[in-house]
Amino acid sequence: MLLRATFLPRTNWPSVTLTAFFFFFAIMFGYGMGGAATTPRWAMLSVFLPLWLMFQQERMVWTAGHVVGAAFLTYATLSMSWVTVPIQSVDVLWKYWLLGAAFVIGSRTDNPRPIYAGLGLGFCVNSAFVIALYFYVWRGIVQIDAPSSSFIKRNYLNR
């Protein structure tokens, strides 16, 4: 007979997994990287979303949104046969497929509370991280002159 711990509360693992994922999704930041917030987040989505869909147990209920999205993704995939720069197109196509997977996961989620909890906690940690970088380490973008406005850099116009 297997011993079972009856004093531990029953854990809802999909909710815990979603909370943890969105917590780490919110704090992803690669300091000194081009696209410091977006590049690690796309990489994390590329790992998590296919794994999450592989381990889903219940069947998906198709709605009109699912049909339209599937038709769009099918057309986008077929359009890869006539693109001029395939490597850039594969990147965009993969992001579309990831957004489609996020839509499917969102449509299967009954309670969005774990998503909001993970994002809220993650954004608190991320904000604290950015504030600490600003006050203690990071001093902004190094420039010769301060920008004269939001749209013009004076050193490029030789003024």
Reported as a single tens digit per residue, the pLDDT across 67-102 is: 999 999 999 999 988 888 888 889 899 999 999 999
| Contact indicator for 102, 41 with CB cutoff of 8 Å | no
Per-residue confidence (pLDDT) for residue 86, from 0 to 100: 85
Residue 132 has pLDDT above 90, yes or no: no
Domain ranges of the chain: 13-156
pTM for this prediction = 0.71
* Interatomic CA distance for residues 51 and 121, integer angstroms: 23
Per-residue confidence (pLDDT) for residue 156, from 0 to 100: 52
